[in-house]
Amino acid sequence: MNILLKEISKKFGSQIILKDLTLEIKAGEFHVLLGPSGEGKTTILKIIAGLISPDKGQVIFNNIVMNKIPPQKRKIGFLFQDFALFPHLNVYENIAFPLKTRGIRKTKIKKLVDKYLTLFKLNKHKYKYPHQLSGGEKQKVALARALIFSPKVLLLDEPLSHLDAWQRDELRKELKQIQTSTKITTIYVTHDQSDAIELADKISIIHKGRIEQTGKIEEIFYHPKSKFIASFIGIKNIFKGKVLKYNHKNIVKIYEKCLTKELNLIINTYNSFEKGQKVYLCIHPENVLIEKQAKDENCFRGHIRELINQGPIICAILDINGLKVYSFITKEKQNELKLEKNRSIWVYLPKEHLIIYNHTIDI
C-alpha cells in the first residue's frame, strides 16, 4: 500500500499540531517517524487510520482519497503503546478477536491463530490472561492481533517504550523479520534513535508539526539539514560560523563567544552558501581525531578537559582556544597516545566530515 499525506493540517483548540505536512510512504516500506514527544507523530498515525480527521489536506492510499472512508474499511493494523489487550480474554481469544468480529469461520480462525502463536513463540501462553504475561509477551500478543487479519498497513505507536532493554532488542529483531517477510507497509512512531537505526528503510524527523527531513539512515545521521536535527541525533559539536573565502579556499570562521583566538575551518564546498552568510558547522564526535602531530588542514593545538569512560569508548572533551569539542576514541587509542586530563594534543577536524547548513533555516 502506497500512502500519501498531502498538505495535512490539524489543530486541537488553538494549538497547532500539524501544519501543511506532506509525506509519501512507499508500498512495502518500513518508515520511522522520529522525534521528541509532543511533536505530532501519534496524530499522524491516527489521521492515517481514520481515528481523527485532518482540518485540511488529503490522506491518499494507492491514489484513492480516503478522508471519508471509516477506519474499519481502511485495512489497517494499529498497535498501541499501551498494548490495549482485553483483560477478560486469554491469549488465544485476544489474537482471534479481529477475525471473530469479521465473521470468519472457527476452523479458519483456529488455523490462523495457531500460525501466529507459533510465529511469535506464544504457544505455551495460549490460555494465559494478560495479567499473567510479561511486557514483552503482551506486546507479542498485541502485534499478532494487529497482523492476523492481513492488513495492508501496520501502524506502530511507540510499541517498545515500556519494555526492558533486552526485550526491546528481541522484539526489534522479530518485528523486522516479520515486516521483511510480509512486505507490509509499516509506519513506526518513536523518539528512540536505536529503533530507527535498526528498523527503518527511511526516517522522517518530525518537529513542531512538520517534517524537517526525510531520508535513509545515513542521510539523516551524516547530513542533517538543521541544527535541531543535528542536536536531536546526538551531534555534540555544533558551532556558529560565517562563510569566508581566502586564496580560492572555502572557509568558515567560527565566532562562538568562548573563543580566545580566531578559528577558521576549511570546508569542502559552499553548496548554495554565499560569502558572509551565517551558518552552522557540525561534526560527529567519532570523526574528531586526536593526533600526535599536526596535519595539513583543520588541525589545531588543544588540550584535554575531561576523559569520560562510556563502556567500549572514551568521550574526550577537548579544548581548542576555549572552544569545547567532543571526540569519541577507543581505549586502545587512549593507551596508545597516553592521553590524560590537561594533556596538550593536536585536534584534527577532517573537512570531508564537516557538515554545513544555513543558520536561518532552524525554527
Model confidence pLDDT, tens digit, residues 68-106: 999 989 999 998 777 789 999 999 999 999 999 888 999
Cell readout for 356 is 554545513
pLDDT in tens, 122-153: 999 999 999 999 988 998 999 999 999 889 99
**pLDDT reported for residue 136:** 86
Give the CA dihedral 290, 295, 301, 303, nearest 10 degrees. Answer: 10
What total of structural domains would you count in the chain? 2
Q: Answer yes or no: do 351 and 298 share one domain.
A: yes
Instruction: Check residue 107 and give its pLDDT.
Output: 94
Domain closes at, from 228, 263, 284 = 228
Tell me the pLDDT of the chain averaged across its residues: 91
Give whichever of 162-166, 202-206, 273-277 has the largest mean pLDDT: 202-206
pLDDT at 361 exceeding the cut of 60: no
Residues 236 and 247 in one domain: yes
Last residue of a domain, one of 228, 257, 287: 228
pTM: 0.83
Among residues of the chain, what percentage have pLDDT more than 90?
Answer: 63
Confidence band, pLDDT 50/70/90 cuts, at residue 363: very low
* Residue 18 near residue 8 (C-beta atoms within 8 A): yes
Tell whether 298 and 355 lie within a shared domain.
Answer: yes
Residues 210 and 91 in one domain: yes
Helices 165-182 and 135-147, axial angle in degrees (round to 10)? 10
Listed residues 194, 210, 228: the one ending a domain: 228
Query: Could you write out the three-class secondary structure of 189-204?
Result: EECCHHHHHHHCCEEE
Q: Give the residue-averaged pLDDT of 175-184.
A: 89
Predicted confidence band of residue 229 (pLDDT cuts 50, 70, 90): very high
C-alpha distances (whole Å) from 38 to each of 52, 116, 267, 355 are 17, 34, 36, 28
Q: What mean pLDDT is predicted for residues 234-263? A: 88
Looking at the structure, do residues 51 and 175 belong to the same domain, yes or no?
A: yes
Domain that holds residue 259: 229-361
Looking at the predicted structure, is the pLDDT value of residue 248 above 80?
no
Tell me: do 220 and 274 sit in the same domain.
Answer: no
List the CATH number of the domain containing 9: 3.40.50.300
Rg (C-alpha) for the chain, rounded Å, is: 25
* CATH number (domain holding residue 301): 2.40.50.100
- Looking at the fold, whether 13 and 71 belong to one and the same domain comes out as yes
Q: Which three cell numbers stand for residue 272?
A: 548554495
